[in-house]
């Protein structure tokens, strides 16, 4: 589509967001009149560590206290400490908004008008193009109950096959690798305490010292006992600086590194032959596959010195208790599943999974990234990690929902494929309902996506704030945020937690569950949706009963009694399951699977026109797309905007000095930001955090090349050109 053909999106003046000029005062009144207890024991609104905190209300307003909980043991990061700011934000959406036509600005509307507009739009699109022409996009920040209700809404009310969520951008590769190797995906199949007890931890592509700092106490406890930490990362991050050994690999070469480590483990007879014999199948093919990954060759592919490949394999292989933990660095690649499987091969050959205190795990990032991928907002999935393609699973869930199994759609498009199918007239997907996701900042190749979304027949966004994506929507629905509703979350350990409501939502704001129920009612399926948290929770647990991710016993009382309950938990008398695989894996024969993996390069590699590698990630002071954290003054002051992290030698070659404005150009777009120089990054690599939109948007640059299994986009490696640019505004 040519730029001239794009519809003009008029952004709203924030004065128009509120029904009247006194709306911020109305928000304050709602806060003061809240009937919340003075301190509500709950959890952080952000990442998957889900630190325990108290939301406190007194005469000075709202504040946060750290709470002693098994994950954070009283620690919080700066994001958690400042989370109460979100409860007082004056730019909170306090009523629905809609635009009368594509060229019109957003204007305030009543809930009836907004919901009628959406329902009429859905009916018109589906009448013209079929049920699958309306799609739903969910988020890994939604509670389990909301993720469940959204999946049910798509299949029962919309009858569309097309629902997916932004976890597809995050943990999908490790989830797929875990399913293939172990028969089940629970990111960490052991509690965090095992990190402190391990003698060696290999962390592949994660930087928890910045992304979830309180978790470092578990690593620190181990290191104080003399445990070794090995970190593979193109950057010498805060986590890598705390490690015994840093493996600074070229972005996109993780599988070669894993194969090299396994090659050394075989050569040095560090593998556990008895374990391989008793608990796995497929070893011979993997042993043959890694035979050619001798350390010198791995050095040529990855850039990691051969002696460090040897040393890492020995540290890991000689440890009595060892863990391999995966982060987004090795996962967000067009071969992310292969990377996960290659490191799982290493773990299985060393006999780690299921051995007490040892194992392989994925450190999930989003607040409910784990629960959000278990209960039906994925394209192929039904609640309890059941599958739409499985006739038995379809019948089980249909019985709970009171519908015929054959009325359930088949699996639909995955996230990026769904977004690629959006657009205007003639597009496969013509209407999109987005919950808890800021796609224009988080999705790859964001400029192309913006054009697609802007030309849709109907784009609806439900969000507490006017995100970049909400700003181009046809209808915006203001919804409750974290401390304004009850619900369960599942943290990175598979521990199901209870997030408690500390206050009522402001007047004019609905919960997502209320929105889903109201829309279902207008579409003739209202009898299937309560809109109520406790009722939805009870039904949700029933729908998971007997499934691979069984939450039937994770009642709110049980969760509170036990400081969270690890799934599977089939009944309320069950203690939960902190550790999986002690005796068997989840495949029918109880055995884990090896998968032979070969190194394959990234979809895009450097060339004369784009000679460097762009990799993206996060910084300590911001969370995901920044819709929440960019609104917190302390966090905005600490990290006010995007930057390009460069090695000083790379900067010198381009005539760039620290603080200069630089232009980054890929085959998809251009971004401009300030240069930050550090010797802690490879000379061939540029790092950009992705938390911002506008001219510093990292995802204007990234490529939508997808892993063939997980369909995760390749955020961690694409070819980029670097130039000095005109000074940034404000310089």
Binding site for ligand SF4 (CB under 6 A): 44, 46-47, 49-51, 72, 76-77, 79-80, 212-214
Q: Please state the closest distance from residue 48 (CB atom) to ligand SF4, in A.
A: 7
Q: Please state the closest distance from residue 169 (CB atom) to ligand SF4, in A.
A: 18
Query: Smaller CB distance to ligand SF4: residue 415 or 492?
Result: 492
In this structure, what token pair is assigned to residue 669?
Answer: 């777009």
Q: Please state the closest distance from residue 638 (CB atom) to ligand SF4, in A.
A: 13
Burial 128-154 (b: 16+ CB within 10 A, else e): ebebbbbbbbbbbbbbbbbbbbbbbbb
Cβ atoms of residues 483 and 143 within 8 Å: no
C-alpha 613/C-alpha 688 separation (Å) is 11
C-alpha 227/C-alpha 487 separation (Å) is 37
Q: Please state the closest distance from residue 351 (CB atom) to ligand SF4, in A.
A: 32
Per DSSP, the three-state class of 255 is: helix
| Closest residue to bound ligand SF4 by CB | 80
Query: Smaller CB distance to ligand SF4: residue 209 or 257?
Result: 209
- What is the Cα gyration radius of the chain? 25
> What residues pair up with 659 in beta bridges, in sequence order?
none
Query: Smaller CB distance to ligand SF4: residue 47 or 184?
Result: 47
C-alpha 218/C-alpha 485 separation (Å) is 31
C-alpha 395/C-alpha 390 separation (Å) is 9
Query: Smaller CB distance to ligand SF4: residue 53 or 271?
Result: 53
Query: Smaller CB distance to ligand SF4: residue 80 or 596?
Result: 80
Q: Please state the closest distance from residue 327 (CB atom) to ligand SF4, in A.
A: 14
In this structure, what token pair is assigned to residue 192?
Answer: 């965090």
Per DSSP, the three-state class of 433 is: strand
Query: Smaller CB distance to ligand SF4: residue 49 or 227?
Result: 49
DSSP for 596-635, written as a single string: -------SS---SSS-EEEEEE--TT--TT-TTGGGSHHH
Q: Please state the closest distance from residue 56 (CB atom) to ligand SF4, in A.
A: 15
| Residue 479 CB-half CA count within 13 A | 24
C-alpha 100/C-alpha 97 separation (Å) is 10
Query: Smaller CB distance to ligand SF4: residue 187 or 384?
Result: 187
Measured torsion, CA atoms of residues 39, 45, 49, 52, in degrees rounded to the nearest 10: 0
Cβ atoms of residues 83 and 44 within 8 Å: yes
Per DSSP, the three-state class of 676 is: strand
> What residues pair up with 720 in beta bridges, in sequence order?
612
Q: Please state the closest distance from residue 77 (CB atom) to ligand SF4, in A.
A: 3
Q: Please state the closest distance from residue 413 (CB atom) to ligand SF4, in A.
A: 31
Q: Please state the closest distance from residue 42 (CB atom) to ligand SF4, in A.
A: 11
Rounded to the nearest 5 degrees, what angle is found at the Cα of 567, between the Cα atoms of 566 and 570? 120
Query: Smaller CB distance to ligand SF4: residue 138 or 369?
Result: 369
Query: Smaller CB distance to ligand SF4: residue 216 or 344?
Result: 216
Q: Please state the closest distance from residue 689 (CB atom) to ligand SF4, in A.
A: 15
Query: Smaller CB distance to ligand SF4: residue 65 or 380?
Result: 65
Crossing angle for the helix pair 144-152 and 533-544, to the nearest 10 degrees: 80
> What residues pair up with 200 in beta bridges, in sequence order?
228, 322
Q: Please state the closest distance from residue 84 (CB atom) to ligand SF4, in A.
A: 12
Q: Which residues contact 477 (CB under 8 A, 6 or more apart)?
A: 96, 114, 460, 461, 462, 463, 510, 515
Q: Please state the closest distance from residue 357 (CB atom) to ligand SF4, in A.
A: 24
Query: Smaller CB distance to ligand SF4: residue 196 or 433?
Result: 196
Dihedrals phi, psi of 231, to nearest 5 degrees: -125, 125
C-alpha 453/C-alpha 439 separation (Å) is 10
Query: Smaller CB distance to ligand SF4: residue 334 or 622?
Result: 622
Query: Smaller CB distance to ligand SF4: residue 212 or 612?
Result: 212
Q: Please state the closest distance from residue 76 (CB atom) to ligand SF4, in A.
A: 4
Hey, what long-range contacts does 416-419 have (CB within 8 A, 24 or more apart)?
Answer: 416/168, 416/443, 416/444, 416/704, 416/706, 416/711, 416/713, 417/706, 417/711, 418/135, 418/137, 418/162, 418/164, 418/379, 419/137, 419/443, 419/449, 419/452, 419/453
């Amino acid at each position: 589509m040519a730029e001239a053909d794009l519809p003009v999106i008029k952004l709203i003046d924030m004065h128009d967001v509120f029904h009247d000029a006194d709306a911020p005062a109305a928000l304050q009144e709602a806060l003061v009149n809240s009937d919340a207890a003075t301190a509500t024991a709950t959890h952080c609104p952000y990442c998957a560590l889900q630190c325990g905190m108290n939301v406190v209300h007194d005469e000075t307003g709202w504040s946060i206290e750290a709470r002693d909980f098994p994950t954070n043991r009283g620690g919080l990061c700066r994001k958690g400490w400042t989370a109460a700011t979100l409860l007082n934000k004056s730019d909170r959406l306090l009523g629905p908004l809609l635009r009368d036509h594509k060229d019109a600005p957003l204007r305030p509307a009543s809930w009836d008008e907004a919901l009628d507009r959406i329902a009429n739009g859905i009916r018109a699109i589906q009448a013209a193009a079929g049920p699958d022409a309306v799609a739903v996009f969910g988020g890994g920040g939604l509670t389990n109950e909301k993720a469940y209700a959204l999946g049910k809404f798509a299949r029962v009310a919309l009858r569309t096959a097309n629902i997916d969520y932004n976890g597809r951008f995050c943990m999908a590769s490790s989830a797929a690798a875990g399913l293939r190797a172990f028969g089940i995906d629970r990111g960490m199949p052991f509690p965090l305490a095992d990190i402190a007890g391990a003698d060696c931890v290999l962390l592949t592509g994660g930087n928890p010292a910045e992304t979830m700092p309180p978790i470092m106490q578990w690593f620190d406890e181990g290191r104080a006992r003399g445990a070794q930490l090995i970190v593979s990362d193109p950057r010498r991050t805060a986590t890598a600086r705390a490690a015994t050994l840093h493996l600074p690999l070229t972005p996109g070469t993780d599988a070669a590194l894993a194969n090299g480590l396994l090659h050394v483990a075989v050569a040095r007879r560090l593998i556990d032959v008895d374990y391989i014999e008793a608990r796995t199948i497929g070893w011979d093919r993997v042993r043959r596959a890694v035979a050619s990954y001798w350390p010198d060759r791995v050095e040529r592919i990855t850039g990691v010195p051969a002696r460090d490949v040897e040393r890492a394999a020995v540290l890991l292989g000689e440890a009595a208790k060892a863990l391999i933990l995966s982060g987004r660095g090795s996962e967000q690649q067009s071969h992310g599943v292969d990377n996960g499987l290659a490191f799982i091969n290493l773990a299985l050959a060393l006999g780690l999974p299921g051995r007490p205190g040892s194992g392989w795990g994925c450190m999930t990032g989003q607040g409910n990234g784990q629960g959000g991928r278990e209960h039906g907002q994925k394209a192929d999935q039904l609640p309890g990690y059941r599958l739409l393609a499985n006739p038995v699973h379809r019948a089980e869930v249909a019985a709970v929902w009171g519908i015929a199994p054959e009325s359930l759609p088949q699996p639909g498009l995955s996230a990026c494929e769904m977004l690629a199918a959006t657009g205007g007239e003639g597009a496969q997907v013509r209407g999109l309902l987005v919950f808890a996701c800021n796609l224009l900042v988080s999705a790859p190749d964001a400029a192309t996506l913006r054009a697609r979304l802007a030309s849709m027949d109907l784009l609806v966004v439900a969000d507490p704030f006017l995100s970049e994506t909400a700003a181009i929507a046809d209808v915006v629905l203001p919804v409750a945020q974290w401390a304004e509703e009850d619900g369960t979350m599942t943290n990175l350990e598979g521990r199901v937690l209870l997030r408690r409501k500390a206050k009522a939502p402001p007047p004019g704001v609905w919960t997502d569950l209320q929105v889903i129920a109201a829309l279902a009612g207008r579409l003739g399926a209202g009898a299937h949706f309560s809109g109520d948290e406790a009722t939805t929770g009870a039904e949700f647990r029933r729908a998971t009963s007997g499934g691979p991710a069984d939450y039937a016993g994770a009642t709110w009382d049980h969760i509170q009694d036990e400081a969270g309950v690890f799934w599977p938990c089939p009944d309320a008398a069950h203690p939960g399951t902190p550790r999986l695989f002690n005796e068997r894996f989840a495949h029918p024969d109880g055995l884990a699977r090896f998968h032979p993996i070969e190194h394959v390069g990234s979809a895009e590699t450097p060339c004369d026109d784009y000679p460097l590698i762009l990799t993206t990630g996060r910084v300590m002071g911001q969370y995901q797309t920044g819709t929440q954290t960019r609104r917190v003054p302390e966090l905005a002051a600490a990290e006010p905007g995007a930057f390009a992290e460069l090695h000083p030698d790379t900067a010198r070659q381009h005539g760039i000095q620290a603080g200069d404005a630089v232009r980054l150009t890929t085959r998809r777009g251009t971004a401009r930001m300030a240069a930050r120089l550090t010797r802690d990054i490879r000379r061939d690599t540029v790092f950009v955090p992705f938390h911002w939109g506008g001219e510093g948007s990292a995802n204007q640059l990234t490529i939508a090349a997808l892993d063939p299994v997980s369909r995760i986009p390749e955020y961690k490696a694409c070819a980029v050109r670097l130039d000095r640019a005109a000074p940034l505004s404000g310089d």
